[in-house]
Structure 1
Amino acid sequence: MQTLIICIDRDDDLGEKANVTTPLIGREDNINAAVKLATADPEDSDSNTIFGGVNVLDELLAKGVDAEIITFAGDKNVGIISDQKISAQLDAFMREHEATNAIFISDGAEDETLLPIVQSRIKIDSVKRIVVKQSANLESTYYILKHALNDPKISQTFFVPLGLAAMIYAIFLLARYPEGAIIGISAAIGLYMLYRGFNLDQPFALLRERIKNSFYEGQMTFVTYTIAAIMGVIATMIGAVTLWQYYITGGSWYYGIITLITIYINVTIWWYVVAILFADLGKMVDQKLSKSFTIKEISPALFIIAIGLLFWGASSYILSVSALAGETLNSELSLQYFVYSVVGAIMIALLGIKISMTGTSSEKLPKKGKDKAKK
């Protein structure tokens, strides 16, 4: 074929709503899929995108151009996961078929973010955006708001903070502590804004996809990730309870905010370190079973231990010289612990660096040996 007409369904409405598997190659398969999607959800614009691609195909065929239409779908987790799935489908298609140029069909700016990915694999001659014409009644404010709030992307951004604030307020009212509701609501909304601001939904989506794959493939990482999550929850609860006990006995005005934060770090750091080590251990076991394990995989675990040692030593020293310090001897002893922790962390980090460099050099040795053998 000479020209490829590419339609993109980035959020996989074809699979989620119409139960259609992509890629869809050919006019008949694309029309059938578009009809199924339009039947399942008449308001979805992806069906119009496919019909628009079929219209372009008919025009090219009428002019004698050798053309074909294909539709790719991503994943409901729009972002890295969906783009990787579309890239894999496109690569598989290009390995089996030859096409010199392509026409990109989209229904908006979201699908057009895939243009650089497609252009890296095939020349794009034209981009056509399908715009659905609406009647005056459908363009009313009520209709726009109603359907915008039905969109999961918008509803999650709008309703989650409100629902979270209402739940926290209700919990504090039941506990007969309405003053704490302001603190809880502010903290929850602040964490949510940081989560959205740093775009952490993509890493969490990747982690969820990895855990799901490890479960279905019977990997050790599923068990160790579960253990790590449980230990993380336990650590958070221990830190919160300890922090609350100090707060109600003295308050932040007595101990100081930095001291309270240091208390939390001191009582939870080793729980978090062990949780991360469990997750890393499962990864190493799976690599060992798949025969892809190298000695340098141990380096991250050593760095985690070194960081935990530093945080523990520093937090212990800060607590000894703060309002919680009882005697000068404790301060001197904790200073020694801090110095020992710094020295120990440096030694462990250097060991991790040496192991990492050893693993890298050992991977290069067989290649050199093969080159010498050929000579």
Structure 2
Amino acid sequence: MTTLVVCIDRDSPVSTEYPVVGRSSVEPLITETGVEDPEDSRVNCLLEGVRVADELEAEGSEPLLVVVGGGTDTVGTDRHIATQVEDLVETYGPDSAIVVVDSADDEQLVPIIESRVQVDAVDRVVVRQARDIESTYYLLKQFLADEELRKTVLVPLGLAMVAFPILLIVANSTTIAIGAIAAAAGVFLIYKGLGIDTYLSRLPGEIREALYSGQVSLVTYVVAVGLSLVGLFAGALGVSDIEDPATFVLVNRFAFDSVPWLTAAALAASLGRLLDELIQREGVRSAYVNLPFGAVAVGLVVRGFSAYFLERGGVFDAFRVTRTDLGIVVVQGFTMEAGTRLAVFILAGILISLLGVRVATYVSRTDIESELAE
């Protein structure tokens, strides 16, 4: 059983008569080709042909190593190779063939050989260094074909490259230009890292669904946004009255004035979500029940600490309870120290938090609808 091991050698750098038949004739061709151009991948193709022939011989087959090729014109070379294969088939009468190629151009000749003799296998030889380059090329090609990756990487990179010379011209400072681009890149990374883009893409659909389904939380969320804006405005007004420019004092003053409004905003949003759970489900999860209590508890604790620091910093006077006459009960006026006042706020926050846990535990064990029916 004769098997042709066909190495395709188009536009060879050496002048020789094709086809080259037999290992004894191919080995000098390998040396001559390697000396002429050591970087040529066809040397590896010819060596692979020798290896395949040795492997077939070890298995008991009768391999015939041949090299076909020659010529520089594409059409003329292909027709010349077809004639060579026909002559080899007619002379040696092989049962099958194995084609060894080292490029995509050479692989295009496989159908020509296959039409003359049965081709059992095609051995593609890729040099390791070339494989790395080829892999990089296909990775880049795949990257450029992915629309999401292009938007995420190429667009910000392009904007940074356009913005940098503009900032240099406007600001006339390399430090400012680099700082501005770094800040923009940081904002973009936070935007992508926190998934804000995903949330914003889902937001219109969620709002539309909330409008159609009549969710109470949609209204309470709007109320919460309004209360939050009021809180931020109140905090800004409080900071504007501070004469001491110390950052710590400014932060605590802002927190003291804004926390009640922000707590009310969190309370409105959590109550709306809780009502939606009660309406849409047979029961309610304990986390939604505990959320309003947690918002109030956190608000009390934050306000207590900010008041303590402001009082110790001399921004506020000591808290004084005036004398109150309730008829049966008379409350004498007294001054509450800063530490005592802070302890009261912390204790109130803990008690409200514990109350929320107790109510959430009770609700999670009770069927709300059955309780209301009773």
What TM-score results when the alignment is normalised by the length of structure 2? 0.43
Who wins on radius of gyration, i.e. which is larger?
2
What TM-score results when the alignment is normalised by the length of structure 1? 0.43
